[in-house]
Amino acid sequence: MPKSLWKERYDHIADFEELLAEHGTVILKFFLHITKVEQEQRLLDREKEPETAWKLNPTTGRSANTGTITPRPTKTQSPGPRQARSVDGVPANSKWYRDFVIAQSIVAALRDHKENWKDKLDEMGRSGRAGLEAMRRARRGEEREEKGQVIAASVSRQNAMENTADGPRSESPGDKLD
């Protein structure tokens, strides 16, 4: 693959990482190191299994000239003014050990952010509860307003029924002020 294509790809990766970092994303990068012997064994195992044989490609991991396993590039960013993010090399012959090492790295990296995130979550919780309470108060106000309209409508209907074809209802002697 031409160096110009690799450089372009690294630049795209670096731009994406920069975008993520600007928005507070914690970026961890790992280089999973699998020995040549283990790579060869995994390819042979894959070839034997019908469920995974479809993934094989005649050039998978092999140099066209030598037939040996070609290590993947370990460079993680193109040179430039950007701050380089480190890549942790992880022995990956054993999947359980690989997972263990990566999990420990993630926990260690996130531990530094725990208090800041806890404070932010508490603030978001307070804000969310305040918004919820405001919404509930507004609903209660609407319900009271609706109940008031229902009561007023009910009184109007009663008055209308009392003032039917018989004429207005008779007033009691105390209603007249002469």
For 82, residues 6+ apart whose C-beta sits below 8 A from its C-beta are 14, 18
- 44 and 10 belong to one structural domain: yes
Residue 174 lies in a domain: no
Residue 177 lies in a domain: no
Q: Which domain holds residue 130?
A: 113-158
pLDDT of residue 75: 43
- 7 and 67 belong to one structural domain: yes
- 64 and 128 belong to one structural domain: no
Tell me what the pLDDT averaged over the chain comes to.
76
Question: Mind listing the pLDDT tens digit for each residue in 66-87?
Answer: 444 444 444 443 334 455 566 7
Residue 168 lies in a domain: no
Cα–Cα distance measured from residue 69 to residue 92, given in angstroms and rounded to the nearest whole number: 16
Low-confidence winner among 79-83, 110-114, 138-142, 165-169 (lowest mean pLDDT)? 79-83
Cα–Cα distance measured from residue 120 to residue 111, given in angstroms and rounded to the nearest whole number: 15
- 23 and 48 belong to one structural domain: yes
Residue 164 lies in a domain: no
- Terminal CA-to-CA distance of the chain, rounded, Å? 109
Q: What is the dihedral of CA 89, 93, 94, 99, to 10 degrees?
A: 30
- 133 and 81 belong to one structural domain: no
Please indicate whether residue 117 or residue 165 has the higher confidence score (pLDDT). Answer: 117
